[in-house]
């Protein structure tokens, strides 16, 4: 790409196991692109196998950014990822390559496309106090606190979702305003000179579910159990996002002797299918794509999307 062309960015989204990474590789190879991760779990260093991160062979063939860049001992928020992604996009464009953002984390993609509510930075002391309270009292008790102080936000958050409960409470504690009030304000937009073209993969649910099952069995064969053993051995806070990755709690339970491997596999596959269903719903209701569809034949799919990129992305 030369400087006369617009600052185009391709965004490829879709449910888990829908072939996003394979498509991103094909697009990047065809159009001189660099792949930028938009998966909230693939950012964590210790979770290569269990999050289906691109392997060393793919990473050596095509430049990849924001994969395995954050230790599991830290939490990556949408705001943190967005800042990192925008910096990577600028760097990729400065190098004359096409940024190809790929992932299935809806909040991350919306943050990139639309910006985020302008919530002020939360003091570390507030974060630490609430996380300590969560460990002592549990998420249900903190949900009761949230319901008493901010009933509107509490109605939108499940008592079993500690991360969102703590987020709502820390915003309330630090700013004196409910999270829903901040979210109702106009978001801070992304760079105005970036032009995002969104490709949404929308395969039938039965194909996604079967792919989810096949992929987890392949993960087990590729060392997922040992990966979880090493992660658990770090002694991290169980409320950290990396510890909530699909498969971690189930395989950890198997390693403790609480579940058979077969039962753990069934639970992970069921949870992954539910997650994929939520992703498909989000795609239908929360995103406006420039190209949307799916072909079982990957070669046909690539040709259709190549044509879309040539005609709509790289043409000023």
CB 170 within 8 A of CB 126: yes
**CA 37/CA 42 separation, integer angstroms:** 7
Q: State the average pLDDT over residues 218-247.
A: 95
Q: Which residue has the higher pLDDT, 3 or 159?
A: 159
pLDDT band at 226 (very low <50, low <70, confident <90, very high): very high
**CA 237/CA 32 separation, integer angstroms:** 41
CATH architecture of 124-183: Orthogonal Bundle (1.10)
Retrieve residue 76's tokens: 């990556």
Cβ neighbours around 39 below 10 Å, total = 22
Helix (H) or strand (E) segment spanning residue 174: helix 162-175
**CA 218/CA 111 separation, integer angstroms:** 32
Q: Which of 63-72, 82-91, 148-157, 158-167 has the lowest mean pLDDT?
A: 158-167
Is 60 exceeded by the pLDDT of residue 121? yes
Q: Which residue has the higher pLDDT, 237 or 252?
A: 252
Give the pLDDT confidence score for residue 135 in this predicted structure.
85
C-alpha closest to that of 168 among 187, 188, 183, 190: 183
Q: What angle do CA 246, 278, 133 make, to 5 degrees?
A: 55
The tens digit of pLDDT for each residue in 238-275 reads 889 999 999 999 999 999 999 999 999 999 999 999 99
Cβ neighbours around 154 below 10 Å, total = 21
pTM of the model: 0.84
Give the pLDDT confidence score for residue 154 in this predicted structure.
92
Alpha-carbon 201 to chain mean position: 15
CATH architecture of 7-117+194-313: 3-Layer(aba) Sandwich (3.40)
CB 15 within 8 A of CB 104: yes
So where are the chain's domains?
A: 7-117+194-313, 124-183
pLDDT band at 188 (very low <50, low <70, confident <90, very high): low
């Amino acid at each position: 790409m030369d400087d006369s062309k617009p600052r185009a960015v391709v965004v490829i989204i879709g449910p888990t196991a829908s072939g996003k990474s394979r498509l991103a590789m094909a697009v990047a190879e065809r159009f001189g692109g660099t792949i930028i991760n938009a998966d909230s779990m693939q950012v964590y260093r210790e979770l290569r196998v269990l999050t289906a991160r691109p392997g060393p062979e793919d990473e050596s063939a095509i430049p990849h950014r924001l994969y395995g860049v954050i230790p599991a001992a830290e939490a990556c928020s949408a705001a943190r990822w967005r800042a990192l992604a925008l910096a990577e996009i600028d760097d990729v464009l400065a190098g004359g390559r096409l940024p190809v953002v790929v992932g299935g984390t809806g909040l991350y993609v919306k943050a990139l496309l639309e910006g985020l509510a302008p919530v002020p930075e939360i003091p570390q002391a507030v974060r630490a106090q609430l996380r300590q309270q969560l460990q002592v009292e549990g998420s249900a008790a903190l949900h009761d606190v949230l319901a008493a102080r901010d009933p509107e936000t509490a109605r939108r958050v499940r008592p079993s979702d500690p991360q969102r409960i703590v987020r709502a409470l820390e915003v309330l504690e630090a700013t004196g305003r409910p999270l829903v009030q901040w979210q109702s304000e106009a978001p801070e937009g992304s760079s105005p000179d970036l032009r995002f073209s969104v490709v949404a993969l929308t395969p039938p649910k039965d194909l996604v579910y079967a792919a989810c099952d096949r992929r987890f069995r392949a993960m087990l064969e590729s060392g997922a159990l040992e990966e979880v053993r090493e992660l658990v051995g770090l002694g991290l806070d169980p409320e950290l996002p990396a510890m909530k990755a699909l498969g971690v709690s189930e395989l950890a339970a198997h390693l403790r002797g609480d579940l058979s491997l077969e039962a753990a596999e069934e639970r992970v596959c069921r949870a992954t299918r539910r997650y994929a269903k939520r992703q498909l719903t989000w795609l239908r209701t929360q995103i406006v794509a420039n190209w949307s569809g799916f072909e079982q034949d990957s070669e046909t799919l690539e040709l259709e999307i190549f044509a879309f990129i040539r005609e709509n992305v790289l043409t000023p």
